[in-house]
């Protein structure tokens, strides 16, 4: 049986969260609590925007926290849509399934500060879509 997953967020890379969050809030009709989380494992700072409807997905904004690739080069090119994220019951099972379907695991599982230390893993699809999997 395939691992179960739930859509969580759409992630955007931005040069500055403070400089762009209000624009995202206006254009998406979202709300922002102003909280920015530093994740040293990924060398980024992230924040989440919530839709006004509780059923809406989250929007994640990520800005570089160091010169460690790949986020700074993406931000310097103007940033934009970066990834989609799914919550999964078993990260290891999901990454194994992704590999068997021809996806490439681009970063091994690591704890994510924005998710209370829950593990995340990153894969590229054959069509170069970056997917983040967050372990429930």
pLDDT in tens, 59-101: 999 999 998 878 888 898 889 999 999 999 999 999 999 999 9
Q: How many domains does the chain divide into?
A: 1
What pLDDT, on a 0 to 100 scale, did the predictor assign at position 71?
87
Under the banding of pLDDT at 50, 70 and 90, the label for residue 2 is low
pTM assigned to the model: 0.91
Return the beta strands (E) in 1-136 as ranges: 5-13, 30-32, 37-39, 44-51, 58-64, 80-88, 104-111, 119-124, 130-135
Residue 1 scores a pLDDT above 70: no
The domain in which residue 15 lies consists of 5-135
Under the banding of pLDDT at 50, 70 and 90, the label for residue 40 is very high
User: Which CATH number belongs to the domain containing residue 82 in this structure?
Assistant: 3.10.180.10
């Amino acid at each position: 049986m395939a691992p179960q997953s739930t859509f969580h967020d759409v992630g955007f890379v931005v040069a500055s969260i403070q400089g762009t969050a209000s624009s995202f809030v206006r254009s998406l009709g979202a709300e922002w609590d102003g909280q920015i989380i530093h994740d040293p494992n990924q060398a980024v700072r992230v924040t989440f925007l919530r839709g006004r409807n509780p059923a809406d997905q989250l929007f994640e904004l990520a800005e570089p926290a160091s010169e460690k690739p790949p986020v700074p080069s993406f931000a310097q090119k103007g940033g934009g849509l970066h990834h989609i994220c799914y919550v999964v019951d078993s990260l290891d099972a999901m990454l194994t399934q992704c590999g068997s379907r021809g996806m490439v695991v681009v970063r091994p599982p690591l704890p994510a500060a924005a998710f209370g230390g829950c593990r995340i893993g990153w894969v590229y699809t054959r069509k170069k879509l970056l997917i983040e999997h967050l372990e429930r």
